[in-house]
A and B are shown apart, each in its own frame.
Chain A
Amino acid sequence: MKFIAMLSAALIAAGAYAQDTIKIGVITDRVGVSKPYAEPATEGIIFGANELNKKGGVLGRKIELLIEDDQSKPDVSAALARKLIDQGAVFILSVSLSPATQQQQTVTMEAKTPQMTPMNSADYLTTQLDNPYFWQTGPLGSVQIATLLAHAKTKNLQRVALITDNSELGQAIAKAFRAGLEKSGIQIVDEEVVSNGSTTAMPQMQKIRGANPEALFVAGVVTATNVLIFKSYRELGLKFPIHASYNLSVPIYMTAAKGLVNGITFVDAYDPDKPEVKAFEAAYKKEMGTAPANLHGYGYDGIHLVAEAIKKAGSTDKEKIRAAMQSISYSGVMGAKGMKYAFPEGKRAGFDPNGMVVRVYEGDRQGRVVYVGQK
């Protein structure tokens, strides 16, 4: 009898605790193709939530994260969004693949539940569906390309080559690169594709060498394939400069491509000299013992934006959170100095088009910012 009384007391206490927390759903990818991006972002979300909870949480309540793994599979993803909403999530953060995030929207739109991706970059996420409950603060693909091309323009290039991998995203980025280059009147003298899983990129790099470009644009997003390209570049002793997609902003290049990346410029949304970044890096290192990467910043900004919206709404009412989110203005870790996330005039893609930067590898390290914005 005593035991049952204790058990029910514990259950009541647990129930009260559960009611006290604010539940935020997170849909991530632990085993699929987005894992290299999704995992650090999720670590950033967890770190951010812990930090907020230590300061007393939001509206006096602790944040409770409900984390699910969709393996970047859109069908699984939608079902998980439903599950999270049923479990009481008032907001869903999506950090797996863009198509998966898109599929979740069919659920969040119908269930009128706020959802945001702090990292996905596909342009179509806020344009194909008119879902007033969805926002995107990852830098759009088109912005990344425009920023990289704006920097390239300062070099007065006439003839360039383009190389990518055969992933869907790699092909899409190459297409956007091609369009942007042609629009600026730069001639593409050779265009190559390296299949993922290839054992060498020698034939492609020989062909590019034969076409004698002034620079090479790397649009690929699969790290292993890009490393293959850089190995052939070094082996052939090529000298033309390389401008690369945001994939080069993942930290693994510093170890996986040792001695291969010096001098490569790449587009990023992270400025190591920004005061917010310095504070974030110091706090993260103190708490976790390791330095964070730029990808952690996406998740960290995401959870803070959500907390900010709930604070502004003054309640966990989904409709109030939606209204608060739409009118938010927030300066986070990601983006160039002084950049603020905002959703003016009903827009739901909140990364400032001039908020990206171009950085350069110095030795094996991701180094300084050499260009800001796309003007």
Chain B
Amino acid sequence: MQDFFELAVGAAASGCVYGLIGLAYLLVLRPTGIINFAVGEWAMLGAFGGFVLLTQYEWPYALGMLVALAVMFVIGWASERLVVRPLVEKGAPLLAPILALLGMVVVYREIISTIFPPDPMPVPYALGMGRLELGPVGGSYQSFFTIGVTLAVFIATWLFFERTVAGKAFEAVALHRRAAALMGINLSRVMALSFGAGAVVAGLGGLLVAPNTSAYYLMGVPLAIQGFTALVIGGVGRVAGPLLGGLLLALAEQLTVRYAPIPSGYAQGVPLVLLMLFLLFRPTGLLRARA
């Protein structure tokens, strides 16, 4: 039983990271209709930001984190300006920016692998390495930190969409682009902001997971897949969708490895099976959009 509680905290932390990557997809997808597979590489950039600022320059964690995320915003914003907007303005079909962003996956990775050595780079824990025991539930400081930060991000995102005029503007663009434009909403600004916000959230996911996985140039693709699976499971209709999906995915993954009487090599298939089942039987995900 102690194993279970120990695992539950770790799995929840992993699930939160998947959820953040899923949210990064969602933030771009809702107002623009673009599935951006470069979110995994954004997470990698966030992790490398952590390596440079926190490990190499040894900045205080909060400051390093803020600067890294600010840089991520600029990267996301610039991606939209330089990669997506020229295509949209020329009236290219939706597939064009999706493919261009897939190309950006290679660009980001090559840039990182040119600048940094190929080895995994250490990124420090936010609160140091240690364990916190709360009754039967125990886990590393980093796990609790990850869970706390993720919850804060999701609540803030939810409040933004539900309670602010700007959030409503995003929502309106998601519902009907042309109508929103006619109502005076600046479409291009919404698009640029959604890419910026997506990059911040993905970068945060990378920064939070990097103390465990280290920062390395191949870390993006697995995160992009896990985040996408989280999004499919949870559904794109609601902000909480990717978080729920991420938590379920991580629990399913880790509990199968720990308890299912199958060789752990096969347990790797669990996320893919889940992804297929949801795509087949519940393509809208667990949480449906409100009518």
Contact = CB atoms under 8 A, between A and B. Distances in A.
A191 B7 contact: no
A206 B6 CA distance: 9
Contact of A197 (B3, B140, B221): B221
A23 interface: no
Contacts of A255: 122
A252 B120 contact: yes
A196 interface: yes
A104 B113 CA distance: 25
B186 interface: no
Given A193-B263, A250-B119, A224 B3 contact: no
A36 B219 contact: no
Contacts of A258: 122
Most buried by A among B6, B110, B225: B6
Given A193-B263, A224-B219, A228-B213, A202 B10 contact: yes
Contacts of B268: 166, 193, 195
B31 to A, nearest CB: 29
Interface size class of A (residues with CB under 8 A): 20 to 34
Interface residues of B, number: 40
B254 A224 contact: no
Contacts of A191: 263-264
Most buried by B among A195, A197, A199: A199
B257 interface: yes
B223 interface: yes
Interface in B78-129: 110, 113, 117-122
B214 A203 contact: no
A76 interface: no
A363 to B, nearest CB: 16
B214 A207 contact: no
Most buried by B among A31, A198, A200: A200
Nearest to B140: A235
Nearest to A257: B122
B184 interface: no
Contact of A199 (B122, B209, B255, B263): B209
Interface in A209-248: 210, 223-224, 227-228, 231, 235
Contacts of B219: 197, 224
Interface in B253-271: 254-255, 257-258, 263-265, 267-268
Contacts of B257: 192, 203-204, 207
A228 B264 contact: no
B118 A36 contact: yes
Contacts of A235: 131, 140
A256 interface: yes
A39 B118 CA distance: 9
Interface of B: 3, 6-7, 10-11, 13-14, 17, 110, 113, 117-122, 131, 140, 209, 212-214, 216, 218-219, 221-223, 225-226, 250, 254-255, 257-258, 263-265, 267-268
3 residue pairs, one from A and one from B, having the closest CB atoms: A197-B222, A252-B119, A203-B258
Given A36-B117, A193-B265, A210-B3, 10 more contacts: A35-B113, A200-B11, A203-B258, A224-B120, A228-B212, A235-B131, A250-B119, A256-B119, A256-B120, A256-B121
